[in-house]
């Protein structure tokens, strides 16, 4: 029987992977080679640790193994790099691990945050920066990234391959970042953190509704970024948005892991301390002016959190905020959310008309959310037959088991009511 890592060890590897990649990138400046070496080190850990036990310094162990893999690659490439490998090979293993441990804790700076900025390489387009960072740092699969961008998985795989090739052609340079570099790359870094949080809060595939490891890591990095840039309104806006949204986590699932939508949640289970923190951070962000998309989304989340029920939510103000958001940053999901808010203000028929205007967007062609929203509005409008069809069609398109179960259950309940 093959020994396997326990959940804690797997979580540790997931946390350490971007840190080890950051250390190697600063040393070797070769993104593709460093990423491959880290993946090989993670595979070696998964095979060896269950048999040999976890090392005293897991991070140093991974750095050492990844360095060996990378220097093996270097030796095969050029004679100059062969000499580098020979020098490394003369150092005793224990000394290599000690050196790796020292290098891993330089100034106790968080390598993960550095890596976010490093991966947002100026040679790449904005979308490629985000996709590459999600893959290398966030640990998202190609399929998960594709769903976040509303594109086919094959398209995203090609985009990631081209991104790595572009970096290689550009010389794979990762110099020390200046304040100007960080400012230029900040929008892409914020988008990456936002998408990682979204995938954690509402997992796009699998048997669980959310992945706490992803949402917690996004919040952790958001806090680090807020400490680095305490006066940036959008940095604080994103942190506030994540806290205000994550505060509802405990009420989102039932005893068997089933999905509970926002309007049916027991709001006493919400984390009100986290809501208060998010509101304070949002107010601090808004005082700096220059209102941006993350601040607007945080304000929408705050309105939901302040309401004692769905019916008493200030939907009119939420609709206005979505209209402002669309003027600043148009996106399919923002238009869909605006349609929902419009329906809550003007009624389901008006909402359905808004939904119909979105149906021609090719990005919704294979996405289940448009049908799910349409089904809900049709149910509210009393057209249960059409609602059942939309619930079932949405269930066929989603790759999330809890969402599929929720949609099918809704369809079944409406069908029973018609009999």
Residue 211 confidence class, pLDDT cut points 50, 70, 90? confident
Same domain, 75 and 118: no
Q: Range of 56's domain?
A: 7-106
pLDDT at position 108 is 37
- Mention every residue, 6+ apart, whose C-beta is less than 8 A from residue 108: none
Asked whether residue 364 is assigned to any structural domain, the reply reads: yes
> How do residues 3-61 score in pLDDT, each as one tens digit?
566 777 777 777 788 778 877 776 776 777 777 888 888 888 888 888 888 888 888 88
Among 82, 106, 130, give the residue marking a domain's end. Answer: 106
Does the residue 117 lie in any domain?
yes
- Number of domains composing the chain: 3
Mark whether 26 and 65 lie in a shared domain: yes
**Looking at the predicted structure, is the pLDDT value of residue 130 above 60?**
yes
Is residue 337 a part of any domain in this protein?
A: no
CATH number assigned to the domain comprising residue 136: 1.10.10
Residues 90 and 119 in one domain: no
Choose the weakest-confidence range: 4-18, 178-192, 383-397: 4-18
Confidence at residue 416, expressed as pLDDT on a 0 to 100 scale: 85
Domain check: are 13 and 93 in the same one? yes
318 lies in some domain: no
CA atoms of 28 and 36, how far apart (whole Å): 13
For the CA atoms of 104, 108, 111, 117, the dihedral, rounded to the nearest 10 degrees, stands at -140
| Strand-pair partners of 400 | 206
* 366 and 404, same domain (yes or no): yes
Does any domain span residue 16? yes
Mark which of 84, 106, 128 sits at the end of a domain: 106
Q: Which of 31-40, 192-201, 389-398 has the lowest mean pLDDT?
A: 31-40
Same domain, 24 and 82: yes
Is 176 among the domain residues? no
pLDDT at position 254 over 80: yes
Which pLDDT score, from 0 to 100, does residue 419 have?
63
- Identify the band that residue 167 occupies on the pLDDT scale cut at 50, 70 and 90: confident
End position of a domain, from candidates 106, 140, 161: 106
Number of helices (H) and strands (E), helices first, in the chain? Answer: 20, 2
The dihedral over CA atoms of 83, 87, 89, 94, expressed in degrees to the nearest 10, equals: -160
> Both 371 and 408 in a single domain?
yes
71 and 160, same domain (yes or no): no
Is residue 162 assigned to a domain? yes
For residue 300, which of 334, 329, 274 has the smallest C-alpha distance?
334
Contact 217, 15 (CB under 8 A): yes
Q: Is 415 exposed, middle or buried (0-12, 13-18, 19+ CB in 10 A)?
A: middle
* Whether the predicted pLDDT of 97 surpasses 70: no
pLDDT at 113 (0 to 100)? 78
For residues 326 and 69, which has the higher predicted lDDT (pLDDT)? Answer: 326
Both structure tokens of 56: 């005293």
State the distance between the two ends of the chain, measured CA to CA, in whole angstroms: 52
Q: State whether 130 and 100 are in the same domain.
A: no
Q: Please report whether residue 230 resides in a domain.
A: no
Whether the pLDDT of residue 383 is over 90: the answer is yes
Tell whether 152 and 63 lie within a shared domain: no
d(CA 384, CA 389): 9
Calculate the average pLDDT of the chain. 83
90 and 132 part of one domain: no
Verify that 361 and 417 share a domain, yes or no. yes
Rounded CA-CA distance 141/261 in Å is 26
């Amino acid at each position: 029987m093959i020994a396997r890592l326990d959940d804690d060890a797997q979580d540790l590897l997931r946390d350490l992977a971007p840190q080890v990649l950051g250390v190697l990138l600063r040393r070797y400046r070769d993104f593709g080679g460093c990423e491959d070496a880290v993946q090989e080190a993670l595979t070696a850990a998964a095979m060896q640790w269950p048999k040999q036990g976890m090392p005293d310094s897991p991070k140093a162990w991974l750095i050492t193994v990844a360095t060996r893999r990378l220097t093996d690659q270097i030796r095969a490439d050029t004679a100059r790099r062969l000499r580098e490998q020979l020098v490394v090979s003369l150092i005793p293993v224990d000394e290599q691990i000690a050196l790796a441990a020292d290098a891993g804790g330089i100034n106790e700076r968080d390598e993960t945050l550095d890596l976010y900025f490093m991966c947002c390489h100026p040679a790449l387009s904005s979308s490629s920066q985000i996709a590459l960072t999600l893959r290398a740092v966030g640990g998202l699969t190609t399929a998960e990234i594709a769903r976040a961008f509303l594109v086919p998985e094959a398209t995203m795989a090609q985009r990631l391959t081209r991104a790595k090739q572009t970096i290689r052609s550009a010389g794979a340079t990762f110099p020390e970042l200046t304040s100007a570099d960080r400012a230029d790359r900040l929008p892409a870094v914020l988008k990456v953190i936002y998408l990682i949080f979204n995938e954690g809060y509402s997992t796009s595939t699998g048997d669980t509704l959310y992945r706490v490891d992803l949402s917690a890591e996004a919040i952790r990095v958001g806090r680090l970024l807020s400490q680095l840039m305490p006066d940036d309104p959008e940095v604080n806006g994103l942190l506030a948005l994540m806290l205000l949204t994550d505060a509802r986590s405990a009420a989102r699932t039932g005893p068997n892991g089933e999905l509970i939508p926002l309007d049916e949640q027991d709001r006493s289970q919400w984390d009100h301390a986290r809501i208060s923190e998010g509101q304070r951070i949002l107010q601090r962000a808004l005082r700096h002016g220059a209102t941006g998309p993350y601040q607007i989304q945080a304000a929408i989340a705050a309105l939901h959190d302040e309401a004692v029920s769905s019916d008493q939510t200030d939907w009119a103000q939420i609709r206005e905020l979505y209209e402002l958001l669309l003027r600043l940053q148009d996106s399919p999901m923002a238009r869909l959310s605006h349609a929902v808010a419009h329906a809550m203000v003007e009624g389901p028929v008006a909402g359905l008309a808004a939904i119909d205007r979105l149906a021609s967007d090719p990005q919704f062609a294979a996405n289940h959310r448009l049908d799910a929203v349409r089904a809900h509005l049709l149910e509210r409008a009393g057209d249960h037959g059409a609602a059942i069809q939309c619930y079932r069609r949405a269930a066929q398109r989603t790759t999330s088991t809890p969402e599929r179960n929720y949609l099918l259950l809704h369809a079944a309940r409406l069908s029973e009511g018609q009999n």
